[in-house]
Copies of this chain bind each other. A is one copy, B any other.
Amino acid sequence: MAEAGEFQIIEKFFTYQTFGAWKSQGVGDDCAIIDTGAGRIAVTCDMMALGTHFLPDADPEDVGYKALAVNLSDLAAAGAVPRAFFLSIGLPRRDDGWLADFSRGLMKLARESGCALLGGDTTRTPEVEGHHAPETISITAMGDLPAGMGLTRKGAKPGDDIWVSGTVGDAYAALKCRWGAWSVMPDLEPALFARMDRPTPRIALGQALLGAASAAADISDGLLADLGHILERSGVSAEIEWEKIPTSVALQSMTPARQHEAALAGGDDYELIFTAPPSSAERIYEAGLLSGTPVTRIGRVIERTSRAVTVRTPDGLPVLLVTEGFDHFRNEE
C-alpha cells in the first residue's frame, strides 16, 4: 500500500461535486453546514473504537461522555447550538454493566448540553479469528445555526490574529503518562487525566465567536495539524509564538521537548483554534469571558509561504518537532 492518510482517503474516494436540494458548505470541515431550505443546520459524525480511540480498559462512563464530547466539539467549531444526536453502537457481546455506565456518561453530557439522543442502531461487532471486535461507536450530531452564519476552516486572512481556547497538550501528556512513558507529580495527575477522559467541548465559546472569528477548527489532531487545516483551506500561512501557547501547570512541569510535542503535535484537546481580524480582539475577549473559557492570542496569519506554520521561541529560533498530528492511516505500509 502506498503511504496515504485519512484525509487522502476522504479526498480521493468520498469527495464529489455536490448535488441535490440541500446546499452544503464545509466538506472537509469539522461540520457540514447545510441549508435545508427551511433553515440552516450543522452536522458532524465521528466513529470511535475501543483500542483505537480509547484504551481497551477505559471506564465506560468516560467513553460515553467523550464519544459525545468530540462530536459536540465539532459543532462548537462551527458555532452551532447542539440539538440532537444519533448513536450507532457495535458491541462484542451484551454487557449490561458496560452499557449502563456508557449510557450514564453519554447522557450526562447530552443533558448538560441540551443535545437529545433521538435515534440509533445497535449491532454485534464482527468476528475476527473467533473473537468479536471491540466496542465501536458512531455518533452523528446536529445543531442549529442562524441563517447565513457558521464558522468553517476557510476564511483566515493575512493579518488575522490566531487564537486558542483553554490549554493545549494535556490529553496527549495524560496518555503518555498512562503508558508510563512520561510522568508527572502525583497531585497533578487527576486534573491532567480528566482532560483526556472528559474533554470540555467549547460550545458556548463557539456560538459567541459567530460573526467575530474568520475561521475555526477544534483541536483533535493537534494544534499544528488543525491550524494547518485552516491555513490550507484559507490559502495562507502562520507564525506562532511558542511562549504564548497556553499550557497547564502539569504540562509546564515537563521538559521543553515534551511540552512542544504535547502542545503542538498532541491532539485530543478539543479546544478551539480560530482566527479573527485584530479589530475583533475586544469581541473575542468578551466571548471568552461570557462563555467562561480562557482565550489566548498565539500568533498571526501571514501571506502564504512555502512553510505552513512557523513556531518560534522567544529567542527567535524555530521549534522543531519529531512527530506530527495523529492520522489513522499515515503509518500504513
Q: A1-B93, A53-B123, A126-B52 known; A41 and B36 CB under 8 Å?
A: yes
Contact of A332 with B by CB under 8 A: yes
> Does residue A124 face the partner (Cβ distance < 8 Å to B)?
yes
Cβ of A127 within 8 Å of any chain B Cβ, yes or no, is yes
By the criterion CB–CB under 8 Å, are B13 and A99 in contact? yes
Asked if A228 is at the interface of the complex by the 8 Å CB criterion, the answer is: no
Q: Are A120's CB and B14's CB within 8 A?
A: yes
Check if B10 sits within 8 Å of A120, measured CB to CB: yes
Shortest C-beta distance, A39 to chain B (Å), equals 3
The reply on A116 being an interface residue by CB < 8 A is yes
Q: How far is the CA of A296 from the CA of B244 in the complex (A)?
A: 71
Closest chain B residue to A119 by CB distance? B32
In the complex, the answer to whether B132 meets A84 with C-beta atoms within 8 Å is no
Residues in chain B near residue A107, CB distance under 8 A? 16
> At the interface, yes or no: A140 with Cβ under 8 Å from chain B?
yes
Chain A 40-78: CB-based contact to B (< 8 A → 1; otherwise 0): 110111111111110000000000000000000000000
Task: Tell me the complex Cα distance, A325–B86, Å.
Answer: 24
A100 to B12, CA, bound (A): 9
A117 to chain B: which residues have CB within 8 Å? 14, 16
What 5 A-B pairs come out closest when comparing CB atoms? A38-B39, A133-B133, A138-B138, A47-B88, A140-B140
CB pairs A–B below 8 angstroms (23 shown): A6-B122, A6-B123, A9-B99, A18-B118, A20-B84, A24-B84, A27-B118, A36-B38, A39-B39, A44-B119, A45-B120, A46-B88, A47-B88, A47-B121, A47-B138, A88-B140, A122-B328, A125-B136, A128-B131, A128-B132, A133-B134, A133-B136, A140-B140
